[in-house]
Amino acid sequence: MERNNLKIINISDLKQAHDLFKSHFEIPSEVMETANKIINDVIKNGEEAALKYTNKFDDASFKSIEDAIVEPQEIDKGYKYIKENKPELVKAINKSYSNILKFHEEQLKHESGTWYFEPDAGKKLGQITSPIERICVYVPGGLYVYPSSVLMTVVPAKVAGVKEIAVCTPSRDGGKIDNLLLYIFKYLGIKEIYKLSGAQAIALMAYGGRIVKKVSKIFGPGNIYVTAAKKIVFGKVGIDSLAGPSEVAIIADSTASPEFIASDLLSQAEHDPNAKSILITDNNELAAKTIRNIFLQIDSIRAEHNERFNSELVMKCVKDNCKIIVCPDIKIACGVSDIIAPEHLEIMTSEPFSTLQYVKNGGSIFLGSYTPVAVGDYIGGTNHVIPTNGTAVFSSPLGVYDFFKKSAVTYYDYNALENEHTLIEDFAYAENLLAHRNSVKIRIPEK
């Protein structure tokens, strides 16, 4: 990529922003067709079909579903390896778990539980809140391994009181699970683990099979086929969200560090070639310095980590999806950000809490120059499963509330129904639901 290809975009009004960001990520029709085919096969043939596709796509050779179940001794072996050989990771996991647990326990305190009230004599209305009984957590395992995603999904589920948690994750190297994932599974007490991946895993969890019990809701990000499958099975089971490519928008003024901004834009770019990294500022000099720093840091990280750093992927993402936007002022910058409704929003201004009051849409918001998205990804405690693709305008980060279901409760005694029966009957008659009308009328004899 030619380094001068990354240009500053000047936006003076919000209509320009609407035009710039009007396109959204969509699942290609051929992906939906493939996912549909796999799901229909799994519906018909259960575990046999799920194993067929898993063996094909994951280079595994499972002959039965029992072969794809992670045994306790395998978990123990992986746990022991990490415990003995990765003390720095053990320390990080302990801190991450503690912070995530504290945040979601506090979140639980502010969730409405079971409650009743009596609006009139003889009437009682209320709500019963109860945890979902059985869920699936899908843990991706393609290019990277994501133990943090296990923590982010399982911890709030346990805080909410979910009793049964099944995990599906791809195997690698002929049927092996990464030791770090095995450590996390034992650390969290997860015992039902399947070496199943992709749309076939989603289908089997949604519909069940000979041995595998269906779940009530599926959580966790995955590749585009996992997302397509979740979209297809939604309605048969619940899902957390339809995750698109990762994205960050950074609102910054002249006080912000271009080095910090560039580092945070790149941290999103390394997720996926379709990830979006966007700076929105009111300062031309900051914008220009950020562009220079993006390429300086790509060179620096590549020199430090060699082939371990996927610089080709990052450069493609920067070329296709990185935008450097300059606005007349920070209020307009906040308006542009609201149009994007980013998954991650960083605010690096002289008074970030004051700037926050002008923002309406953001999945997870990071305030100040010393709170990069990576804090929330791993250690901060807030959840990193966040709405993408502009859906922060109507949805929220994963939380304990996602693991609850609510039932409305209504009680009328005879007198309460007698007081309102004619109103109900009139409504039912107006809608021509005459059996509805009769179900009330039959209970209140005419005088």
For 424, the token pair is 């109900």
Residue 121 has pLDDT above 90, yes or no: yes
Residue 25 has pLDDT above 90, yes or no: no
Give the lowest-confidence range in 79-93, 138-152, 345-359, 430-444: 138-152
Q: Which residue has the tokens 């911890």?
A: 155
Banded pLDDT at 4 (limits 50, 70, 90): low
319: helix, coil or strand?
helix
For 9, the token pair is 């975009």
Query: How high is the pLDDT of residue 3?
Result: 57
Per-residue pLDDT averaged across 195-219, rounded?
A: 97
Banded pLDDT at 91 (limits 50, 70, 90): very high
Residue 116 has pLDDT above 60, yes or no: yes
Bridge partners (DSSP) of residue 172 are 176
Banded pLDDT at 11 (limits 50, 70, 90): very high
Banded pLDDT at 43 (limits 50, 70, 90): very high
Query: What is the CATH architecture of 29-239?
Result: 3-Layer(aba) Sandwich (3.40)
Q: What is the pTM of this model?
A: 0.92
Catalytic-role residue among 343, 346, 384, 425: 343
Give the distance from CA 435 to its chain's centroid: 44
The more confident residue out of 273 and 213 is 213
Look up residue 41 and give its amino acid.
D
Residue 1 has pLDDT above 50, yes or no: no
Spatial CB neighbours of 25, under 8 Å, sequence gap ≥ 6: 244, 245, 274, 388, 389
Residue 142 has pLDDT above 70, yes or no: no
Banded pLDDT at 2 (limits 50, 70, 90): low
Burial class of residue 303 in the structure, from the number of CB atoms within 10 Å of its CB (0-12 exposed, 13-18 middle, 19+ buried): exposed
Contact 180, 82 (CB under 8 A): yes
Per-residue pLDDT averaged across 57-62, rounded?
A: 90
Catalytic-role residue among 344, 346, 384, 425: 344
For 360, the token pair is 């309406």
Distance CA 80, CA 73 (A): 10
Query: How high is the pLDDT of residue 312?
Result: 92
306: helix, coil or strand?
helix
Contact 241, 153 (CB under 8 A): no
Closest CA to 171 of 136, 198, 197: 197
pLDDT, tens only, 261-271 = 999 999 999 98
Q: Compute the mean pLDDT over every residue in the chain, rounded to the nearest whole number.
A: 94
- Do 3-25+245-381 and 29-239 agree at the fold level? yes
Query: How high is the pLDDT of residue 65?
Result: 95
Spatial CB neighbours of 11, under 8 Å, sequence gap ≥ 6: 17, 20, 325, 326, 327, 332, 336
Beta strands in 204-246 (DSSP E): 217-219, 238-239
Per-residue pLDDT averaged across 162-180, rounded?
A: 92
Distance in Å from the first CA to the final CA of the chain: 87
The more confident residue out of 366 and 273 is 366
User: Is 343 an active-site residue?
Assistant: yes
Per-residue pLDDT averaged across 114-125, rounded?
A: 96
Look up residue 338 and give its amino acid.
D
Fold of 3-25+245-381: Rossmann fold (3.40.50)
Residue 63, number of CB atoms within 10 A of its CB: 9
How far are the Cα atoms of 47, 55, 171, 364 from residue 197, in angstroms, in the given order? 12, 10, 8, 28
Q: Measured over all CA atoms, what is the biggest interatomic distance in the chain, rounded to whole angstroms?
A: 91
Sequence-separated contacts (24+) of 231-240 with Cβ below 8 Å: 231/27, 231/32, 232/32, 232/35, 232/36, 232/39, 233/39, 233/202, 233/203, 233/206, 233/207, 236/206, 236/207, 237/205, 237/206, 238/132, 240/385, 240/398, 240/402
Contact 246, 343 (CB under 8 A): yes
Contact 251, 281 (CB under 8 A): yes
CA 131-137-139 angle, to 5 degrees, is: 160
Radius of gyration of the chain (CA): 26
Banded pLDDT at 153 (limits 50, 70, 90): very high
Beta strands in 215-320 (DSSP E): 217-219, 238-239, 247-252, 276-281
pLDDT, tens only, 301-348 = 999 999 999 999 999 999 999 999 999 999 999 999 999 999 999 999
Distance CA 68, CA 373 (A): 35
Banded pLDDT at 6 (limits 50, 70, 90): confident
Domain boundaries defined on the chain: 3-25+245-381, 29-239, 413-447
Banded pLDDT at 5 (limits 50, 70, 90): confident
